[in-house]
């Protein structure tokens, strides 16, 4: 996971607006796309062309205004693979109207998938991973996303596999089958020839939301939770009024959901120094970290 | 005139997309607004709140995609004065639809003025200056702008004004009236008491356009001409095909129109080093300069 921006409403203090790049098995998924996202992608030398999927949590400017420019730049770079864009109702209209007025026909096809506000769904489901939406409590329809790797295969231990077994057995062993000698019928149990699968990892992205303790059940035990922390807890009233969370809220969510690590983001422009937010979260959930632009995190199981 | 961005289609080589800030008597006018314009305004410490007017030449992304983010940021900064936005048909729709989906009501009123494509008009006319549109030849409706200061007032020479004249005579002297003694009827000619007015200056902004020699007549003698120079002349075919100009084209226009200075901009992403473009222009028009981000130019008569 690479952080491209972690500021809220306006860019400030050298911090850009919300955008993250998630690499799952070398497939790149862009999560939100604040203004200047294409500049950030360029700055951090991301392989823009490999972005297959863009998820937009909601239609507040700080989460999507970089999308149009990125689409044009991918066009100029002669992208030809399809791009899948998931977002709230209205996103396709906003894009199409701007393509119309600029008289542009993009080199690559876009598949728009708009979700029904308030209804959670599995929006991506392939052999490697799935993505589910999770309803945020915000001023306009807004979704978070839960990314889950599918169960992985067992890992054959090459030196333990008998010489009589051909290379074709690897697939069966990965699938958990025992090894049987084609002539003698001798059986070697799978677990003597393979290591167990690596654990499947999960990541929850909580976009703009009022603190919603009831959501903890839905992200129980995820390896990493990104949770917005627009304010510190002394501005709780302001957070509630604007449907945002505090650093303390984010930590309470992480604690209740027993997540592996917590990543704080969506910082208000009023905070130049973010350490006080980090300290506030760590008092409740020690495994809290700040989302820092340009930083890449490996999500551990 | 401050250059906020002078690159074409995509931001590159640390250069942002088209945007300029023109200060006329401390009133700020923003000309085009490429993605990240608000970041540039912040970087160069411009007084965003003093922007009264935004002119958008056309609806290609590199000329307007920063507008929505700027409007939101002005809102967050509690702007209350009206903002006047001039642009092609469609611009108001693009903005209104995004305000609708973000459920935003801005703190300040916006007055949209959309021009009729292909029809030149005086779009601003006040006691200090006027702005006329000038039709560019581009792939979609596109306008350039001619800014002209109105004739200025004469400048009274304080030490030459007789003691019997009260301070109320200054206004009349500025307006060119002679001074007459209220009792004796003695007349002192205005030109003995005042310096002539400072010259009125003019600036022509040529947005994206195919080289159009017939436009030279309309900008005859302007003090400064900004002309796009997307390519060098060895790529003339590409320029013609995409309705853009070369550095040589820009210089020929400057020469034919007998302008004071020429400012080149809208550089293609293919040019990291811009000096060859400058040299190409200077061979034809020596008073050629490169539009350089962050640089402020005083427009001389």
**What is the DSSP track for B13-80?**
TTB-BSEEEEEETTEEEEEEE-TTHHHHHHHTT--GGGEEEEE----SHHHHTTHHHHHHHHHHTT--
Q: Kindly indicate the confidence band of residue B14, based on its pLDDT and cuts at 50, 70 and 90.
A: confident
Which residue of B35, B90, B99 to mutate against A (max A Cβ within 10 Å)? B35
- Is the minimum CB–CB distance between A42 and chain B shorter than 8 Å? yes
B68 touches chain A (CB under 8 A): yes
Burial of B115 (0-12, 13-18, 19+ CB in 10 A): middle
Tell the residue number behind the tokens 């007015």, with chain if given. Answer: B197
Per the DSSP assignment, residues forming a β-bridge with B225 are: B204, B262
Chain A residues 6-35 with a CB less than 8 Å from chain B: 9-12, 35
For B64-108, how does the pLDDT look when each residue is reduced to its tens digit (9 = 90+)? 999 999 999 999 999 999 999 999 999 999 999 999 999 999 999
Query: What torsion, rounded to 10 degrees, do the Cα atoms A225, A228, A231, A236 define?
Result: -80
Q: Quick check: A69 contacting B, CB < 8 Å?
A: yes
Instruction: Using an 8 Å CB-CB cutoff, list chain B residues near A42.
Output: 11-12
Contact B11 A42 (CB under 8 A): yes
- Can you tell me the distance from the alpha carbon of A156 to that of A167, in angstroms, rounded to the nearest whole number? 11
Provide the whole-model pTM: 0.91
Q: Whole-angstrom Cα distance, residue A236 to residue A230? A: 10
A277 near A267, Cβ under 8 Å? yes
Strands (E), B150-290: 155-156, 179-180, 187-188, 194-195, 202-206, 224-228, 261-265, 288-290
Backbone angles phi, psi at A202, to 5 degrees: -145, 150
Pairing status of strand A129-135 against strand B122-125: unpaired
Instruction: Give me B249's structure tokens.
Output: 């084209």
Enter the tokens of residue B258.
């007998």
Q: What was the pLDDT predicted at A13?
A: 78
User: For B73, which of A10, A66, A93 is closest by C-beta distance?
Assistant: A10
Task: Please check whether residue A111 is in contact with residue A182, taking contact to mean a CB–CB distance below 8 angstroms.
Answer: no
- Whole-angstrom Cα distance, residue A172 to residue A169? 5
Percent of chain B with pLDDT over 90: 92
Interface touch B61/A68, C-beta < 8 Å: yes
Q: Which of B32, B62, B208, B249 is catalytic?
A: B62
**What average pLDDT does chain B have?**
95
Identify the residue among B61, B63, B106, B230 best suited for mutation to test binding to A, counting A beta carbons within 10 A and taking the highest: B61
The count of other CB atoms within 10 Å of the CB of residue A158 is 8
Q: How far apart are CA B137 and CA B142, in angstroms?
A: 7
**Rounded to the nearest 5 degrees, what angle is found at the Cα of B206, between the Cα atoms of B202 and B212?**
115
Residue B7 is predicted with a pLDDT of: 86
More confident residue, B14 or B150: B150
B65: contact with A, CB 8 A cutoff: yes
pLDDT under 50: residue ranges of chain A: none
Annotated catalytic residue, options A62, A81, A234, A273: A62
The three-state secondary structure class of A222 is coil
CA distances from B5 to A276, B224, B290 (A): 36, 17, 12
The band of B167, judged by pLDDT with boundaries at 50, 70 and 90, is: confident
CB contact under 8 A, A69 and B35: yes
* pLDDT, tens only, B236-277: 999 999 999 999 999 999 999 999 999 999 999 999 999 999
> Distance (Å, rounded) from C-alpha B268 to C-alpha B290?
13
């Amino acid at each position: 996971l690479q952080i491209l921006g972690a500021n809220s409403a306006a860019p400030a203090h050298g911090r850009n607006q919300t955008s993250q790049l998630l690499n799952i098995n070398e497939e790149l998924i862009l999560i939100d796309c604040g203004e200047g996202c294409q500049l950030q992608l360029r700055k951090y030398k991301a392989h823009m062309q490999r972005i297959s999927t863009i998820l937009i949590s909601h239609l507040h400017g700080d989460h999507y205004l970089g999308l149009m420019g990125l689409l044009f730049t991918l066009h100029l770079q002669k992208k030809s693979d399809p791009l899948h864009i998931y977002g709230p109702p209205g996103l396709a209209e906003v894009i199409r109207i701007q393509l119309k007025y600029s008289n542009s026909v993009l080199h690559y096809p876009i598949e728009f998938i708009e979700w029904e506000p308030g209804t959670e769904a599995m929006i991506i489901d392939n052999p490697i991973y799935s993505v589910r939406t999770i309803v945020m409590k915000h001023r306009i329809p807004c979704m978070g996303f839960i990314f889950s790797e599918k169960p992985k295969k067992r890992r054959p231990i090459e030196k333990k596999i008998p010489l009589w077994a051909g290379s074709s057995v690897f697939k069966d062993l990965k699938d958990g089958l025992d090894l049987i000698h084609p002539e003698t019928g001798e059986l070697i149990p799978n677990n003597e020839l393979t290591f167990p699968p690596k654990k499947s990892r999960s990541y929850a992205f909580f976009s703009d939301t009022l603190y919603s303790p009831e959501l903890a059940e839905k992200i129980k035990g995820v390896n990493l939770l990104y949770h917005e922390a627009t304010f510190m807890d002394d501005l709780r009233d302001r957070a509630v009024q604007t449907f945002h969370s505090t650093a303390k809220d984010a930590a309470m969510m992480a604690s209740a959901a027993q997540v592996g690590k917590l990543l704080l983001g969506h910082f208000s422009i009023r905070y130049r120094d973010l350490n006080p937010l980090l300290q506030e979260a760590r008092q409740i959930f020690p495994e809290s970290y700040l989302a820092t632009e340009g930083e890449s995190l490996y999500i551990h199981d």
